[in-house]
Amino acid sequence: MTTLYTDGRVRGDTATDTATSLVVEDGVITWLGTGTPPAVGETVDLAGALVAPAFVDAHVHATSAGLMRTGLDLTGASSAADVLDAVRDRACAEPDALAIGHGWDETRWADQRPPDRAELDAAAGATPVYLTRIDAHSALATTALVDLAPQARTAAGWSADGPLARDAHHAVRRAARESITYEQRRAAQLEFLRHAAARGVACVHECGGPDIAGESDFRELLALRGSLPRVVGYWGAFGSRPPGARGLAGDLFVDGAFGSRTAALREPYTDAPFTSGARYLDAERIAEHLVACTDDGVQAGFHVIGDAAASAVVAGFQLAEKVVGEQELGTVRHRLEHLEMITAEQAAELARFRVIASVQPQFDAAWGGGDGMYARRLGRARAAALNPYAMLAAAGVTLAFGSDAPVTPVDPWATVHAAVHHRTPGSGVSFDDAFAAHTTGGWTACGETGGTLEVGAPATFAVWRDETCLRTVLDGNTIYEVA
């Protein structure tokens, strides 16, 4: 089938910016221009809409993001009472099913206090409840759920009445995951992918792992077919990877997150001077993983947020270089997720190893600035240095933008605007660079070429009226069309 898309405005490189029409045949762009197109079998009138490369979301957790959409979305909660009301309503409606939710953020509430376990138990009764914090690195759980994971009570990060973090969180998360039915999981995955397609996203990078959603979830997600965005899977673990996984990368945790005070810092948290967070991997273990993956030609990668974690990762690359060499290490294009707290010297080292920085600009929009969560956790001086996209780009580090959904929404235009209008002056990038990081950068991050509209390129694009997506096309196939 040959299809002509006509009367649009095509965003391409300099040579094709004036094109108003394009022809797609067998999933490839075969013609761009303003004159008379070749004969075609089908015509789509774009009515003046913008045609641009489709977005790539370089870091998602599809099932968790879908479960928020089909379960309890707590991102709008403004108090502990709001959370308790939502739990009470769900428990009354479905008393025998796990109540799962995401998105509470006590730093935005007047009293900055999440509900305690006794309050949750009173609201939920016998219904197991699992509610992840906005950063997904700690969670609230009822006694009914904790009873399904008794090992949590003696694990690091246990709290008798408050949020659970570290190993205690991992234990209750596993119990919650095992309580979700196949049907619930499939519905959540489809809900998320359809939502992403409706936002002009044609490809997502799933950051899975044994402690995130498990191997069954990962396999099922990669096996999905139909009119959906493409899923590139990364498995955050050491050793072997499930079939279809692009690399042993993604959320292989070096540390945690600022909001849950588990990001690893060199100096203690300003608002909790008794802790400097949690570092789960040292430089030697990081280097071992890099060497093993480099030898196999497989992307390695790590979740790294705090400055102590960044130091360990850079040291790990330097140790790995002594074994496999700079050229070999750089050829594989290893990835780092988040990379929020990094110096110019460290960025230069990572650029030398051709590292991909998979970053989330909406983090800065949500928590940056002098009065945001970052400043409260770290103090204004340290907070102002976070997410330095301009510095990373200037050092030569390739940027790939994503959402970390469900941590921030799949909203590519909001991501682009957040990167341009960074809340720290001088840390943002230009609009063109931001757009490229959310298109071309995403394909580069998974070892592929894409993100341009030119003859011979894959017909992967989105059609926009202002910032409303009208159509998303992946390799010539329409995966979303506005009703």
Helix, strand, or coil (residue 19):
coil
Tell me what pLDDT residue 2 has.
92
Using only C-alpha atoms, the chain has a radius of gyration, in whole angstroms, of: 23
Specify the pairing of strand 2-6 against strand 42-45: parallel
Residue whose structure tokens are 């709001």: 82
Tell me what pLDDT residue 14 has.
41
Tell me what pLDDT residue 40 has.
81
Phi-psi category of 7—alpha, beta or left, where left has phi over 0 and alpha has psi -120 to 50? left
For the chain, helix, strand, coil in percent to 5 are: 35, 25, 40
Burial 277-296 (b: 16+ CB within 10 A, else e): bbbbbebeebbbbbbbbbee
Q: Could you tell me the two tokens for 402?
A: 């994503």
Going by C-alpha positions, the residue among 384, 304, 375 that lies closest to residue 346 is 304
Using a pLDDT cut of 90, give the percent of the chain over it: 92
Specify the pairing of strand 201-208 against strand 230-235: parallel
Question: Which are the contacts of 464, defined by CB distance < 8 A and separation ≥ 6?
Answer: 49, 50, 51, 52, 200, 470
Using an 8 Å Cβ cutoff, are 166 and 155 in contact?
yes
Using an 8 Å Cβ cutoff, are 172 and 163 in contact?
no
Taken as a whole, the chain contains a residue count of 483
Q: Is residue 16 very low, low, confident or very high in pLDDT (cuts 50, 70, 90)?
A: very low
Say if domain 70-179 classifies as CATH 3.10.310.70: yes
More confident residue, 39 or 82: 82
Question: Which are the contacts of 271, defined by CB distance < 8 A and separation ≥ 6?
Answer: 376, 377
Intervals of CATH 3.20.20.140 along the chain: 182-445
CATH of 182-445, one of 1.10.150.530, 3.30.2400.10, 3.30.70.890, 3.20.20.140: 3.20.20.140
With 50 as the cut, is the pLDDT of residue 13 above it? no
How far, in Å, CA of 289 to CA of 269, rounded? 29
With 90 as the cut, is the pLDDT of residue 38 above it? no
- Chain-centroid distance, C-alpha 319: 28
How far, in Å, CA of 98 to CA of 172, rounded? 12
pLDDT for 360-370, tens place per residue? 999 999 999 99
With 90 as the cut, is the pLDDT of residue 44 above it? yes
Tell me what pLDDT residue 294 has.
98
Q: Could you tell me the two tokens for 12?
A: 């391409």
pLDDT for 291-305, tens place per residue? 999 999 999 999 999
Q: Is residue 18 very low, low, confident or very high in pLDDT (cuts 50, 70, 90)?
A: confident
pLDDT for 432-477, tens place per residue? 999 999 999 999 999 999 999 999 999 999 999 999 999 999 999 9
- Strands of 461-465's sheet in order across: 9-10, 50-53, 461-465, 468-474, 477-481
Q: What is the mean pLDDT of residues 61-87?
A: 94
Q: Is residue 211 very low, low, confident or very high in pLDDT (cuts 50, 70, 90)?
A: confident
Intervals of CATH 2.30.40.10 along the chain: 2-54+454-481
Question: Which are the contacts of 66, defined by CB distance < 8 A and separation ≥ 6?
Answer: 187, 188, 189, 190, 191, 192, 193, 195
pLDDT for 336-362, tens place per residue? 999 999 999 999 999 999 999 999 999
Going by C-alpha positions, the residue among 369, 344, 363, 355 that lies closest to residue 402 is 363
- Predicted TM-score (pTM) of the model is 0.92
Helix, strand, or coil (residue 173):
helix
With 70 as the cut, is the pLDDT of residue 240 above it? yes
Q: What is the mean pLDDT of residues 25-51?
A: 90
pLDDT for 250-283, tens place per residue? 999 999 999 999 999 999 999 999 999 999 999 9
Intervals of CATH 3.10.310.70 along the chain: 70-179
With 70 as the cut, is the pLDDT of residue 15 above it? no
Using a pLDDT cut of 70, give the percent of the chain over it: 99
With 70 as the cut, is the pLDDT of residue 17 above it? no
Which DSSP state fits 106?
Answer: G
Fold (CATH) for 2-54+454-481: Urease, subunit C; domain 1 (2.30.40)
Environment class of residue 35 by beta-carbon count within 10 Å: exposed (0-12), middle (13-18) or buried (19+)? exposed
Tell me what pLDDT residue 12 has.
64
How far, in Å, CA of 310 to CA of 286, rounded? 11
Mean pLDDT of the chain: 95
Q: Per DSSP, what are the bridge partners of residue 400?
A: 358
List helix spans (H) across 297-338: 307-324, 326-331
| Omega within 30 of 0 (cis) for the link into 229 | no
Taking the CA of residue 441 as centre, how many other CA atoms within 13 Å lie in the half-sphere pointing to its CB?
Answer: 27
Q: Is residue 36 very low, low, confident or very high in pLDDT (cuts 50, 70, 90)?
A: confident
Using an 8 Å Cβ cutoff, are 3 and 43 in contact?
yes
Q: Is residue 96 very low, low, confident or very high in pLDDT (cuts 50, 70, 90)?
A: confident
